[in-house]
Structure 1
């Protein structure tokens, strides 16, 4: 089932994640990524790339 457009938050409604949460998320993403390019892409998509947190 496709997501409703009203279910998707606008960029200005999103809060940055805490540094510790981003650090933990980076570890999980890095553990499951198949290579460095995929890891960087996922970091960017999730908004947890180094330098993007609060």
Structure 2
């Protein structure tokens, strides 16, 4: 009985899943950081607008 093909396939699937898990995590981190920066920029702009409008009263 030759299990070589099964073992090679099992290691290949493991490697693919491991790489995908790494890549998907990196993509998610990048997306969340981009969202956080965007949110911070919107809040900063809103704060600036509210301070400017209060000074003009």
Q: Indicate whether the TM-score tops 0.5.
A: no
TM-score by length of 2: 0.28
> Which protein is richer in helix relative to its size?
2
TM-score by length of 1: 0.30
Give the structure, 1 or 2, with the largest relative contact order (CA under 8 Å, sep 6 or more): 1
